[in-house]
Structure 1
Amino acid sequence: MRRLIQSCFSNPHELVGRRIMKRACEMKKEFAMFYVSLEQEQRDDIEENMKLMLKKVVTNIDFVDEIQRLAEEFGQRFVALRPLGFRPDLFPVIADATIKECTHLDSAVHKAHTTTHAFSQFGALVFASVREGFYTEVRRLRRASASFSTGSNGSARRKLIESSFINENGSIKSRGNSPRQPHSRCQSRSASPDSSGSDELCPNTPTVGGAPATYLKPPTNAMVATRSY
């Protein structure tokens, strides 16, 4: 089977991509509607990539892993065509058209049923991987979109939390929704007789008899008399 397929592709096949797409349009009206809606450049790109994929796959026909990789890469290209009307259920149409056009490459060298059977198995292997590549790319894009959405929501939540605790001027909000006042050295500084210059640090400290009210008053004579033994 492999040698038969390779012998078919040894014949001229430069237009095989265009012929496959033309036959697919003839086989399925829905495919034709999708295909004619594309720009000429897009159609040329699909036909060229189809031809190149088949040539590479036939060249590596003894290496199944490489066949699958090449076919998956081809299938991934169709994800970008979804907004233009492509659906994965159109892949069987392309597969059937591929089998028919590749069979014609034999030029009746082998029996018709032998050639058809060979390319049917070949087409089933290739287009199973084409579909897998398509769905793999769809899943990858969905995960990337979900990850981006989650990251954006997380940033928005962080900003909301920050705004609920921090005022526009940068001060921290208290539970009563009023800015927390900065801590004053005057409030935390303990009153001590050795605290010289405290009136300079806290100019609003009240005084008694010219001395800061925070200092201890000297004992009066009455107080001394009451403490005598």
Structure 2
Amino acid sequence: MTNSMIRLQKMIAQSGITSRRKAEELIQAGKVKVNGETVTTLGTKVSPKDNIEVNGVKIEKEEPVYFMLYKPREVISSVEDEKGRKVVIDLLPNIEERIFPIGRLDYQSSGLILLTNDGEFANILMHPRHGIEKVYITKVKGVPDKSAYTQMKKGVRDGKDTLKAIRSKVISVDSKQNTSILEVTLREGKNRHIRRMMENLGYPVLKIKREKYGLLTLDGLKPGEFRSLTPKEVKQMWGLASKIVK
């Protein structure tokens, strides 16, 4: 067995079509074939020369690529939108690889979002147990008091969700406009997390920008611009996720 042999689920994830966890589910469900034979054993190892099909479609292994985008407001964090709205992929028009966004920023939010074709990388960054910190600059209506910050750390119930911020602080207050700018740090980001949390506390959100994702920042980018992550940055993000597994 040569060093080029890797686990089947990892090979599928590296193709960019899904995460390693989802690949494992597909294998166990009998949806994967190797050289024409259905494989259901997770320990199976394959080489780049093997013909691998997922749901009847041959996968094409791509070299992994990693990008950081400064998402503007009113752009969907997806590869397509049924309503025809602009999506993040539209902002990287000349990328040949089948990239997809890691997680989401809602339609009205801006800031740092990562894109890749590496399903395994995406999965480790998105999984809640890895708890990678994300920092948001948030403008709200009103001036939160001390009890609001305490409640944010303790957790705010909204439906079935408990919405928490591991840290939050005020950056500035505009008394005339009755608005505040806050720095809010999350480890787990549920759908519209900050908006729902602040609305429940009585401080509606006016703007949100994600400024930091783990070790990465928006330095040097303007809205709509993107750049490749350096090999060092990719390695650092892998390392960060590995260190903080709970």
TM-score range, shorter chain: under 0.3
More helix by share: 1
**Which structure has the larger Rg over C-alpha atoms?**
1
TM-score scaled by structure 2?
0.25
TM-score scaled by structure 1?
0.26
